[in-house]
């Protein structure tokens, strides 16, 4: 290679955007470029002559030293050389920097072995990946959340009910389903406007979240109808929980945006989730019990029994 060629390659080495390293046979640093200095925070004089393990976290350094010892003894690469690998290097300030490393042999197999290594700084890429994952998680959550009440939506509730039915069938555990419908909600909208109706829905959702158990799932199923999925709960206990919510709502005043406050009530139906129960049938049972509560006076809770008509007239 001519002196000109040597100068060209030296310039390429020194001006590369990626950290470039030349290492001795025992993996000590012989040369490092400006990008390596920028990546690690070490000065060039602090790097040259140091083992590459200076830049490796303890766990990786130990594996690296084992690999070097194996290579020096057996001359086998164990599939490491030439294979891109992602891990973190230890910067001078103690921070961990995600990189992609590719190591390779240098020279033509003479007695003096040398190795080259390229480290690509992945901080921007990792940050972008995290942002993308966060965005995807938010989008997934938004797809399952009712935007008005911030409760789970119908899609999330139906999926959870299917899973709960499967768990009950597998483990023969107790669980219950409650359906809630605000009484005379149309009158609220007609009298005070839809904005007032939305405020009522939001405040009822807040009450339900405070009253139900932490393990219960509360959802807005549509309009003024809510569903509560109650795992590890028999129907009698579910009635107690929903009656407590009913009493809380009955003694509260619901504030409207114009300063007025109104009272509301709701009717609820409860169905036991039993072994081999189908989700759609359970919803029908809880819905029928709820409308039975409306037929018998509203502001009450009914438990599903076979005598209740399957499709009562909505009231």
HSE, side-chain direction, 13 A CA sphere, residue 195: 5
224 carries an active-site annotation: yes
Buried-exposed string 41-79: b where 16+ CB fall within 10 A, e elsewhere: ebeeeebeeebbbbbbeeebbeebeebbeebeeeeeeee
Asked if residues 252 and 286 have their Cβ atoms less than 8 Å apart, the reply is no
Q: Which residues are CB-neighbours of 302 under 8 A, at least 6 positions away?
A: 267, 268, 269, 270, 289, 290, 292, 293, 296, 308
How far is Cα 73 from Cα 26, in angstroms, rounded to an integer? 11
Which H helix or E strand runs over 102?
strand 96-106
Residues in Cβ contact with 118 at an 8 Å cutoff, skipping those fewer than 6 apart: 16, 18, 19, 20, 21, 101, 102
* Residue 149 DSSP class: T
Catalytic residue among 76, 224, 274, 284: 224
Known catalytic residues are: 224
């Amino acid at each position: 290679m001519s002196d000109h060629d040597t100068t060209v390659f030296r310039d390429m080495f020194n001006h590369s955007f990626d950290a470039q390293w030349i290492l001795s046979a025992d993996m000590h640093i012989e040369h490092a470029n400006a990008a390596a200095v920028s990546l690690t925070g070490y000065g060039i004089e602090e790097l040259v002559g140091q083992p590459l393990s200076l830049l490796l976290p303890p766990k990786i350094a130990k594996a690296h030293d084992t690999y070097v010892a194996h290579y020096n003894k057996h001359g086998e690469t164990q599939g490491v050389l030439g294979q891109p690998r992602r891990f973190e290097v230890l910067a001078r300030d103690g921070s961990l920097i995600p990189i992609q490393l590719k190591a390779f042999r240098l020279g033509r197999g003479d007695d003096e072995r040398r190795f080259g290594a390229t480290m690509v700084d992945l901080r921007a890429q990792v940050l972008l990946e995290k942002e993308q994952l966060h965005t995807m998680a938010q989008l997934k959550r938004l797809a399952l959340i009712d935007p008005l009440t911030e409760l789970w939506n119908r899609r999330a509730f139906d999926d959870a009910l299917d899973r709960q039915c499967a768990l009950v069938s597998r483990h023969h555990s107790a669980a219950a389903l409650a359906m809630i419908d605000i009484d005379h909600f149309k009158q609220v909208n007609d009298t005070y406007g839809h904005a007032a109706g939305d405020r009522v829905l939001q405040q009822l959702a807040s009450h339900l979240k405070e009253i139900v158990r932490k393990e219960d799932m509360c959802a807005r199923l549509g309009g003024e109808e809510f569903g509560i999925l109650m795992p590890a709960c028999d129907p009698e206990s579910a009635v107690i929980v929903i009656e407590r919510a009913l009493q809380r709502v009955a003694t509260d005043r619901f504030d409207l945006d114009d300063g007025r406050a109104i009272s509301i009530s709701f009717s609820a139906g409860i169905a036991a989730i039993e072994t081999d129960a189908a989700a759609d049938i359970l919803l029908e049972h809880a819905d029928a019990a709820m409308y039975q509560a409306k037929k018998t006076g509203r502001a009450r809770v009914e438990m599903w029994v076979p005598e209740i008509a399957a499709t009562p007239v909505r009231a």
